[in-house]
Amino acid sequence: MSRLVNPHGGGELKPLLLEGDALAAEKARAQSLKQVKMSSRETGDLIMMGIGGFTPLDGFMTHSDWLGICDGYKMANGLFWPIPVTLSTDDETVKAGDEVALVSDEGEIMGTMKITEKYEIDKAHECMQVYKTTDDAHPGVKMVMAQGKYNLAGPVKVLSDGGFKAKYGEQFMTPAETRAKFESMGWSRVAAFQTRNPMHRSHEYLAKIAIETMDGVLVHSLLGALKPGDIPAEVRSEAIATLVENYFAPNTVIQAGYPLDMRYAGPREALLHALFRQNYGCSHLIVGRDHAGVGDYYGPFDAQKIFDEIPKGSLETVNMNIDWTFWCKKCGGMASQRTCPHTKDDRILLSGTKVRSMLSEGQDLPVEFSRPEVAKVLQKYYAGLSAEENVKVELKGHSAA
């Protein structure tokens, strides 16, 4: 019997990606169906349903699901869910009862869907409830406001992983694969470390704190779309692998990736991160400063506080809260506000955004920011960018710390 946490909802993993003859038959049938174009975010959500990362969902959500999640974290069936997983369109001709092919931005047929409901939403309401703002400078708000006029609900059949396995190989692990890996290593207490950045010294410190009390850490990198100026997944993966090889004990870290786009929803996204890490088999989610945040839309520890605000038992995966971490000159190493008695003048506060800003401006990284081996990987990437590609990173809010 497995000692890992149960998939969300308490049942078995529910991957919706077809295989073998069923896949071939549905692909052929999809060619004759009316097509609905998906955004990058919607495509990532569909792939997550395909690999079982969004267990136990069987498709895109209804209006009752949408409203229940926005206002109370619950789908119509009572299942806890923190952010709506919806599909939108401006197509006036599609209607409930239609079967459609779901097509990515690149034109690939990714799945099929039986439409059970077509409905409109109050986009501003979703933005306020999920993102705590309607400011269209917020990238998550911008995504919601750019959605089509209608949402489409219904069960899906997934036909593709979007090429993630071909592109990333062993790093693109499904929930079934991470669970099998944890079992083979004898792990049951596994902390997930969420990142959209290369791992700098503060990230390394967080992961090592977790390793002291856990069987191991899953460094789980986002492989989907980011905002301009963020470092691409391939570069991040190389930087993380370099850090793990040089600075972590063997058999304590597994690096993997998942196919979602960032929503930048701060506290609500932290809950989503915990939910799907439960499906991947992780018992804990490391939650540090400004988890999944952007700019100064959220307080630095709002993503930790929200776990105390949801109904008890909503998730089996629990948060591992870690305080503000930094390099302290007097301590001579990494520390946190809970362990360091010195003043802010002695502390060098680190963030992924600050590292990216320095790199984009051609500055060397101090050893307090990043291990030399990691810095070399990142410097090589930035040196190869054209002036147009080298997006200047603006430091705002907590990211400027």
CA distance 183 to 214: 14
Between CA 17 and CA 279 the distance in angstroms is 16
User: Which pLDDT score, from 0 to 100, does residue 394 have?
Assistant: 46
pLDDT at site 231? 82
Q: Whose structure tokens read 């694969």? A: 177
Q: Say yes or no: do domains 20-162 and 169-258+262-389 share a fold.
A: no
Q: How far is CA 99 from the centre of its chain?
A: 30
Rank 84-93, 225-234, 367-376 by mean pLDDT and report only the highest: 84-93
CA atoms within 13 A of residue 275's CA, in its CB half-sphere: 25
Read off the pTM. Answer: 0.93
CB 269 within 8 A of CB 149: no
| pLDDT at residue 209 in the model | 96
66-102, pLDDT tens digit by residue?
999 999 999 999 999 999 999 999 999 999 999 999 9
99: β partners: 114
H or E element that contains 202: helix 201-213
pLDDT of 362 > 90? The answer is no
299: pLDDT confidence band, cut at 50, 70 and 90? very high
- At 248, list the tokens: 């972590």
- CA nearest 100: which of 149, 89, 45? 89
User: Please, what is the average pLDDT of the chain?
Assistant: 93
pLDDT of residue 328: 95
Q: What residue segments make up the domains of the chain, in order of their start?
A: 20-162, 169-258+262-389
**If you ran DSSP here, which 8-state letter would residue 262 be given?**
P
pLDDT value of position 289: 86
DSSP codes joined into one string, 23-84: HHHHHHHHTTSEEEE--HHHHHHHHHHHHTTTTT--EEPPHHHHHHHHHHSB-TTS-B-SS-
Q: What percent of the chain has pLDDT over 90?
A: 80
Q: Is 1 a residue whose pLDDT tops 50?
A: yes
Distances (CA, A) of 328 to 127, 336, 348, 349, 374: 38, 9, 6, 9, 21
In this prediction, what percent of the chain has a pLDDT beyond 70?
95
d(CA 67, CA 65): 6
pLDDT band at 251 (very low <50, low <70, confident <90, very high): very high
Q: pLDDT, tens digit, for every residue of 279-293?
A: 999 999 999 988 888
Mean pLDDT over 173-186 rounds to 98
What tokens appear for 57 in the block?
């969902």
Q: Say what the pLDDT of residue 400 is.
A: 40
* Contact in structure between 364 and 382 (CB atoms under 8 Å): no
**CB neighbours (10 Å) of residue 184?**
8
CATH code linked to domain 20-162 = 3.10.400.10
pLDDT value of residue 350: 61
How do 59-60 and 150-158 pair as beta strands? Answer: antiparallel
Q: Where are the alpha helices (DSSP H) in 215-328?
A: 233-247, 267-279, 302-305
Residue 305 has a CB neighbour count (10 Å cut-off) of 14
Q: Which CATH number fits domain 169-258+262-389: 3.30.390.30, 3.40.50.620, 3.40.50.1820, 3.40.50.1360?
A: 3.40.50.620
Least confident range of 57-66, 130-139, 374-383, 388-397: 388-397
Amino acid at 19: E
Among 118-127, 139-148, 234-243, 359-368, the range scoring the smallest mean pLDDT is 359-368
More confident residue, 41 or 232: 41
| CA dist., res. 207 & res. 191, Å (int) | 8
As a dihedral over the C-alpha atoms of residue 125, residue 129, residue 135, residue 141, rounded to 10 degrees, the angle is: -90
pLDDT at 389: 63
Q: Return the sign of the alpha-carbon dihedral for residues 247, 252, 256, 260.
A: negative
Inform me whether the pLDDT recorded for 165 exceeds 80.
Answer: yes
**Structure tokens of 230?**
């963020």
Provide the annotated active-site residues.
196-197
